[in-house]
Structure 1
Amino acid sequence: MTVKNIILGLITLLSTSLGYSEQQANENTINNSAVILLYHHVADDTPAITSVSPQQFEQQLDYLQANDFKVWPLPQLMTHYRQGLSIPDKVVAITFDDAYESVYSQAYPRLKQRGMPFTIFVTTDSVDKQFNKQLNWQALLEMSRNGATIANHTVNHPHMLYRFEGENDKQWQQRMQQEIDGAQQRIAEQIGSQHKLFAYPYGEHNQSLKEQLAQMGYLAFGQQSGALGPYSHAQSIPRYPIAGDYSKLDDFILKIHTKAMPAIELSSSATPLSAKQSKPTVTLEFKQAIHKPFFQCYGPGGKLPLQWQANTVTITAAVDIPAGRSRYNCTLPAGDNRYYWYSKPWVRLKDDGTWILD
């Protein structure tokens, strides 16, 4: 049984046993949520963990079209978010990390046929060198003239939290700025666009990077699950990765109907976590009344312990989280078989203090 099924089953059971109705949930529903989808490969012959098949991708686009979803360009959605403008229900944005060949050969024709805009976050050195089945600038320019936004995914696709041996804070920040500025300049040279939109490689980020990108004027996107909402951090915007086991249609439908958790993150353990920081915590403050028994979180080890104090909750790991990347996922019924969703990503070092690098 998947974590998703466990979450939904327990929520349904608890809701029924305590008499919690969808009408009650609707009274607390927060508007102005939108879902941003994240893809990498659209192919049958690429790593499953980052791929959807062309057939699955077409099926997902067909579902959006048949069920009156509105696919917005990411810059338009971000303008509404930044200015606090109303976002209608059932709005999604489609993004791709890395300019893989299948984006052009498989995704682009299907999106163009339906008039659906999309964004490609580009690692510029990989495009320049045609590394690992990356597209060339000519193909990216063609797509940019037909509904695509080309945006920043660094020059070299580094693990941004990783420090070189002996590298101090200032040197690390300068290196990160070079990664971002260099990619932005190259995109401007080749495409002519200047969108201040940035996607973290591997989704890895921390408070220092968020502050740096804010100072540089960027909105920044992770790979943690959840919907965009008024309380989303402008430099840690969630996106739903659609790939592998999470590319099945029922899972896709669940995600595109979710809403942003009506809470802000007050504090969290600093990431990357050392080997000794094995049970990180995050504290959320809810900005509207909720039914606390229905807020559930899962992560390594299953259901996560919660500590409530008034309208704030502190979430802690049930067991030591593994080295590498992991996350906490939290849900809350929102009525009409929909859910609020929040995800917190972590990066933890190995026991010997070294990194797991892909």
Structure 2
Amino acid sequence: MNRFLLQAAAACLALALSLPAQAAVVLLYHHVSERTPAATSVTPAQFAEHLQKLADEGFQVVRLDELVERVRAGEPAQSRLAAITFDDAYRSILENALPLLKQQGWPATVFVATEAVGQGGNIMSADDLRALEREGWLLTNHGHQHLHMVRRQPDESERAWLARLREDITQAEELLAQWLEKAPPKFFAYPYGEHDAKVRELLRELGYIGFAQRSGAVGAPVDWQNVPRIPVNRHYAGWDSLGDKVRALPMPVQQVSPASGITTDKRPALTLVLPADWAQRNVNCFAGGAAGIVREVHSDGVQLRVTPGRDLTPGRTLVNCTASAGQGRFYWYSWLWMHRGESWYSE
């Protein structure tokens, strides 16, 4: 009997150790329309399919503030928790996404770039935003002018640059408070997903959580000024690939260098440090194709040096690194390179 109990206890311990850590995911959409650019859109049919797949796979879809609160409180392992967010306050969100979400009984969050609100075209008005709030949605900050936050103006000092960003964030916050008659939550989505260490520090000083545009899951150890959100568009809307991202777990990256993704190198190196017990795990990375990985195993951790398999072009390139977590799920870590080329960024 004692031998049986020991074997049972060992089996239970092995099972517990094999269970992936807690995680939640945040999905990022822009347009829900057949008439808008594919790179920033999904069709209503694709969006409806995503909602149905989330329901079929047992996800709890909650508002972003609830997801953050539950992750911080220690959501149990194996939870399937998701939040749906939209950037820029396009009218197709109100016209096409809202009815589909109402069918499921799910709320969502809109990060509002306030300068364009009420200016006509395909952007919502303040009345539209209030209508979404009455539906139980969350409206929060995407900046006023939708700036490339890492770009400085010609001859602009660091102090002037950060003051300009602070003013843009504060102006959006004040307008949202005026329209909604209450202060919005301190959530900020980086326009274009662009940020660096200085921008993150500014958000930290202002008391904001910062949301990026990169795949990955949200676990308790997350950097709350660099929270991953899974970008979804018509090119990557198939559930075969999107489902893997949605079921993802946070890769336990302990250190990352460099601190900023801004680069002039055509093949910059990204260094990740993982726990020592990852020495035997197979990690694959992609950056516009398979990336090169140089692995060094040390007593205190595993260092991966990841370089793109081909030259970066000016603009933004995501590096995605994955490893199997078992049970049909993957550990996932994503990094954004912002390549300046000759003129993409100012010093």
Alignment TM-score > 0.5, same fold: yes
Aligned counterpart, 1:236: 226
Aligned counterpart, 1:298: 286
Structure 2 counterparts to residues 101-180 of structure 1, below 5 A: 101-130=91-120, 132-180=121-169
Tell me, yes or no, if the aligned pair for 1:34 and 1:87 is still in contact at 8 Å.
no
Tell me, yes or no, if the aligned pair for 1:300 and 1:320 is still in contact at 8 Å.
no
Change (3 A) 1:89 1:207: same
Q: 2-side partners of 1:109 and 1:297: how far apart? A: 38
Deviations 1:276-308 (A, max 9, x none): x22323332324722544111111452322232
Q: What one-letter code is carried by the residue in structure 2 that aligns with 1:332?
A: A
Structure 2 counterparts to residues 240-319 of structure 1, below 5 A: 240-268=230-258, 270-274=260-264, 277-287=265-275, 289-290=277-278, 292-310=280-298, 311-313=301-303, 314-319=305-310
Q: What one-letter code is carried by the residue in structure 2 that aligns with 1:91?
A: L
Tell me, yes or no, if the aligned pair for 1:140 and 1:150 is still in contact at 8 Å.
yes
- 1:218 matches 2:220: no
Q: What one-letter code is carried by the residue in structure 2 that aligns with 1:345?
A: L
Per-residue deviation, 1:254: 1.8
Q: 2-side partners of 1:195 and 1:139: how far apart? A: 19
Change (3 A) 1:229 1:147: same
Secondary structure of the equivalent of 1:111?
Answer: helix
Q: What one-letter code is carried by the residue in structure 2 that aligns with 1:298?
A: F
Deviations 1:243-271 (A, max 9, x none): 12211122222221111112233322633
- Which of 22, 35, 38 aligns to 1:45? It is 35
Tell me, yes or no, if the aligned pair for 1:228 and 1:260 is still in contact at 8 Å.
yes
Q: What one-letter code is carried by the residue in structure 1 that aligns with 2:337?
A: W
Q: What one-letter code is carried by the residue in structure 2 that aligns with 1:322?
A: T
Q: What one-letter code is carried by the residue in structure 1 that aligns with 2:166?
A: Q
More displaced, 283-292 or 255-264?
283-292
Change (3 A) 1:302 1:61: same
Q: 2-side partners of 1:267 and 1:66: how far apart? A: 39
Q: 1-side partners of 2:97 and 2:344: how far apart? A: 38
Change (3 A) 1:262 1:119: same
Report the count of equivalent residues: 330
Tell me, yes or no, if the aligned pair for 1:268 and 1:280 is still in contact at 8 Å.
no
Q: 2-side partners of 1:100 and 1:84: how far apart? A: 34
Q: What one-letter code is carried by the residue in structure 1 that aligns with 2:117?
A: V
Change (3 A) 1:300 1:306: farther
- TM-score, reference length from structure 1: 0.86
Per-residue deviation, 1:117: 1.4
- 1:349 matches 2:337: no
Secondary structure of the equivalent of 1:294?
Answer: coil
Tell me, yes or no, if the aligned pair for 1:300 and 1:317 is still in contact at 8 Å.
yes
Q: What one-letter code is carried by the residue in structure 1 that aligns with 2:96?
A: Q
Q: 2-side partners of 1:60 and 1:24: how far apart? A: 34
Gaps spanning 5+ residues in structure 1: where?
1-22
Tell me, yes or no, if the aligned pair for 1:272 and 1:346 is still in contact at 8 Å.
yes
Q: 1-side partners of 2:152 and 2:248: how far apart? A: 36
Q: 1-side partners of 2:28 and 2:116: how far apart? A: 19
Aligned counterpart, 1:327: 318
Aligned counterpart, 1:3: none
- When the two chains are superposed, the root-mean-square deviation of aligned CA atoms in Å is 2.2
Change (3 A) 1:338 1:85: closer
Tell me, yes or no, if the aligned pair for 1:155 and 1:180 is still in contact at 8 Å.
yes
Tell me, yes or no, if the aligned pair for 1:269 and 1:281 is still in contact at 8 Å.
no
Q: 2-side partners of 1:27 and 1:291: how far apart? A: 16
Deviations 1:40-77 (A, max 9, x none): 01100000111111011111111112222100110011
